[in-house]
């Protein structure tokens, strides 16, 4: 029984369990809709790198002196229609979601050699297509619902296949992140918060909302879906300039007529190829996994801070699967003030709703602490009762760095620090670091053809972790040719010495010249006689 059939069965199970729970005066889990992320599309040229982030250490044990805390009773809802309970007997819920997608195709067809090339690429990689579509099965229902609500072509629901292969953890060498590959600035423009505790570019619900908002804006700007997609990939300003250039030259201004980078030139053909495969998989010798036309997951409210590991355990869900549905968390704790809900598959949502109120003991092992001044990590760790190694690991502090005043650190709860993190900190937490040791000089360079984080680190005699931190990538990432790279190197005293020696040489030369001047004057005078 594949994953989608298990999900369908889980829906029925939740209905039955919810009914039994209702008889026992327990809250029933409402069904809902949504989709969640998966691993990045690995095109032959530039596979997306895994996102950076600190490893999650084991949760510290709570002090014995702290009393058990009552756990709130959560409710599971459909994120798109929280007021509506899903009718599991509805025949439409049993329809194939692929068929629903096909009915909504509405973009103009693109038919050229680039489309044929991409079709062949996918057709010769059936295992890759299978993995990609199975990952996407978590999220597609939610995306299709959002697309249809806005009256958009359902082809747009396939765009994460092109952007990230439905990997919500995907991060590019240019720092684009998430299933929809938002750059940091663009994400902020569309209200995707990025701070110490979370990155909404990886949030399934928030990033989907933002991506469709952005695509809708671009379509309104250009009046053409192909141009809107080009602008999504290349930037609206670049597309506007390309159109203006063609107009001045008396040329056509459609997508195929514009001069653009190869990546953008291939962007719409890739989407068209995936669309063609979804429309006629057998024609390409491919088989798509079954996709039921109902939500894969529910949204469950979080009213108290809770450890990620504990939430996964109460939901009876493997930690990796929990993180795949809730990839926005940067730290091993879910802050209720910043992340008021988590996404869970049907049966797991029912477990969570039932088991959380029965939990005794602390829900969260971690809280936030703001550094009062510039501190060495060792000193900060001593103040909050943890080892320096653990403090660095959980907060992503690289070697040879100090923590600046005002930085928000995740620290263990204690008798003195046991409250949930405030909304202000959850929404605005920042981390600022300063070099520990000799003054550092900022070096800006552009990547060569084969530059990677490790090769740059070796060249400048710094660690790969440092280069990755400075550039917002992982230690195993490669750079695109021409990509800007930032490196910090020790500001050595050689410059001062060199300056001093230069000055000394100039001074000596000047003194020598002054001493020789009378001799030259005497020689000239004698010559005149």
Of the given ranges (119-123, 161-165, 514-518), which has the lowest mean pLDDT? 514-518
309 assigned to active site? no
Do 526 and 387 lie in one domain? The reply is no
Do 414 and 483 lie in one domain? The reply is no
Both tokens assigned to 124? 């010769």
Residues above pLDDT 70, as percent of the chain: 74
Q: Which of 257, 268, 320 is nearest to 56 (CA)?
A: 320
Burial degree of 137 (CB within 10 A; 0-12, 13-18, 19+)? buried
Residue 201 falls inside a structural domain: yes
Q: What is the pLDDT of residue 520?
A: 53
Question: What angle (nearest 5°) sits at the alpha carbon of residue 179, between those of residues 456 and 279?
Answer: 125
| Helix-helix angle 204-222:140-149, to 10 degrees | 40
Do 378 and 485 lie in one domain? The reply is no
Q: What is the pLDDT of residues 181-228, one digit of tens each?
A: 999 999 999 999 999 999 999 999 999 999 999 999 999 999 999 999
**What does pLDDT average to over the chain?**
82
Q: How far is CA 43 from the centre of its chain?
A: 18
Q: Say which CATH number the domain at 462 has.
A: 3.10.350.10
Do 109 and 228 lie in one domain? The reply is yes
Which residue of the set 41, 119, 155, 163 is catalytic? 163
Q: What is the pLDDT of residues 440-499, one digit of tens each?
A: 788 999 999 889 999 999 999 888 878 887 887 878 888 988 899 999 887 665 444 444
Taking the CB of residue 15, how many other CB atoms lie within 10 A of it? 20
Do 53 and 167 lie in one domain? The reply is yes
Do 218 and 235 lie in one domain? The reply is yes
Q: How many Å apart are CA 207 and CA 202, to the nearest integer?
A: 7
Burial degree of 519 (CB within 10 A; 0-12, 13-18, 19+)? exposed
Count of domains in the chain?
A: 4
pTM of the model: 0.70
Question: What angle (nearest 5°) sits at the alpha carbon of residue 102, between those of residues 98 and 105?
Answer: 140
Q: Which of 318, 279, 422, 362 is nearest to 59 (CA)?
A: 362
Taking the CB of residue 294, how many other CB atoms lie within 10 A of it? 22
Taking the CB of residue 49, how many other CB atoms lie within 10 A of it? 20
Residue 368: its H or E element: strand 366-370
Do 275 and 153 lie in one domain? The reply is yes
Residue 519 falls inside a structural domain: yes
Both tokens assigned to 357? 């109120």
Residue 420 falls inside a structural domain: yes
Do 104 and 167 lie in one domain? The reply is yes
Do 200 and 53 lie in one domain? The reply is yes
Of the given ranges (71-80, 129-138, 287-296), which has the lowest mean pLDDT? 71-80
Do 467 and 498 lie in one domain? The reply is no
For residue 435, which phi and psi values (nearest 5 degrees)?
Answer: -60, 140
Q: Are 138 and 34 in contact (CB under 8 A)?
A: no
Do 117 and 170 lie in one domain? The reply is yes
Q: Are 145 and 153 in contact (CB under 8 A)?
A: no
Q: How many Å apart are CA 332 and CA 199, to the nearest integer?
A: 13
Strands of 243-365 (E only): list them: 297-301, 306-307, 333-334, 341-345
Using the predicted structure, report yes or no on whether residue 43 has a pLDDT greater than 70: no
Residue 259 falls inside a structural domain: yes
Strands of 377-432 (E only): list them: 401-403, 408-412
Which domain range does residue 375 map to?
Answer: 366-435
Residue 81 falls inside a structural domain: no
Using the predicted structure, report yes or no on whether residue 252 has a pLDDT greater than 50: yes
Question: What angle (nearest 5°) sits at the alpha carbon of residue 205, between those of residues 203 and 206?
Answer: 65
The conformational region for residue 159 under phi > 0 = left, psi -120 to 50 = alpha, else beta, is alpha
Q: What is the pLDDT of residue 69?
A: 58
Q: What is the pLDDT of residues 507-523, one digit of tens each?
A: 545 555 555 555 555 54
Q: What is the pLDDT of residue 88?
A: 40
For residue 484, which phi and psi values (nearest 5 degrees)?
Answer: -65, 135
């Amino acid at each position: 029984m594949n994953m989608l059939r298990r999900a369908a069965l889980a829906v029925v199970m939740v209905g039955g369990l919810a009914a039994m729970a209702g008889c026992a005066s327990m809250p029933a889990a409402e069904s809902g809709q949504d989709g969640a992320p998966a691993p990045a599309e690995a095109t032959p040229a530039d596979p997306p790198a895994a996102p950076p982030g600190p490893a999650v250490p084991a949760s510290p044990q709570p002090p014995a002196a702290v009393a058990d805390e009552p756990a709130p009773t959560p409710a599971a809802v459909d994120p798109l229609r929280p007021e509506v309970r899903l009718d599991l007997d509805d025949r439409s819920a049993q329809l194939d979601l692929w068929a629903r997608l096909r009915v909504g195709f509405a973009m103009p067809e693109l038919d050229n050699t680039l489309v044929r090339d991409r079709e062949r690429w996918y057709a010769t990689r059936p295992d890759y297509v299978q993995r990609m579509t199975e990952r996407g099965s978590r999220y597609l229902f939610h995306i299709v619902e959002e697309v249809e609500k806005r009256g958009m072509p359902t082809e747009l629901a396939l765009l994460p296949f092109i952007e990230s292969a439905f990997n919500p953890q995907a991060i590019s060498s240019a720092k684009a992140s998430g299933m929809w590959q938002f750059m940091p600035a663009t994400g902020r423009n569309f209200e995707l918060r990025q701070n110490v505790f979370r990155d909404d570019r990886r949030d399934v619900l928030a990033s989907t909302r933002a991506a469709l908002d952005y695509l809708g804006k671009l379509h309104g700007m250009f009046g053409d879906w192909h141009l809107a997609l080009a602008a999504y990939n290349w930037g609206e300003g670049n597309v506007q300039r390309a159109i203006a250039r063609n107009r001045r030259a008396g040329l056509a201004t459609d997508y195929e007529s514009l001069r653009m980078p190869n990546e953008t030139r291939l962007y719409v053909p890739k989407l068209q190829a995936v669309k063609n495969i979804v429309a006629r998989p057998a024609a390409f010798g491919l088989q798509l996994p079954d996709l039921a036309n109902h939500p894969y997951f529910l949204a469950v409210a979080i009213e108290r801070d809770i450890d990620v590991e504990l939430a996964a355990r109460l939901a009876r869900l493997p930690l990796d699967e929990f993180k795949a549905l809730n990839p926005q968390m940067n730290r091993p704790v879910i802050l209720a003030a910043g992340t008021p809900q988590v996404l869970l598959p049907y049966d797991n949502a029912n477990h969570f709703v039932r088991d959380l109120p029965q939990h005794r003991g602390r829900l969260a092992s971690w809280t936030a602490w703001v550094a009062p001044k510039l501190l060495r990590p060792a000193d900060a760790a001593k103040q909050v009762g943890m080892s320096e190694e653990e403090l660095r690991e959980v907060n992503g502090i690289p070697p040879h760095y100090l923590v600046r005043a005002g930085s928000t650190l995740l620290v263990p709860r204690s008798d003195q620090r046991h409250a949930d993190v405030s909304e202000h900190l959850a929404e605005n937490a920042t981390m600022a670091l300063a070099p520990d040791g000799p003054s550092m000089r900022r070096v800006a360079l552009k990547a060569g053809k084969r530059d990677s984080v490790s090769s740059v680190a070796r060249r400048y005699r710094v660690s790969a972790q440092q280069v990755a931190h400075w550039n917002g990538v992982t230690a195993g990432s490669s750079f695109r040719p021409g990509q800007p790279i930032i490196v910090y190197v020790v500001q050595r005293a050689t410059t001062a010495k060199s300056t001093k020696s230069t000055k000394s040489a100039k001074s000596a030369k000047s003194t020598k010249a002054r001493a020789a001047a009378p001799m030259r004057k005497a020689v000239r005078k004698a010559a005149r006689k």
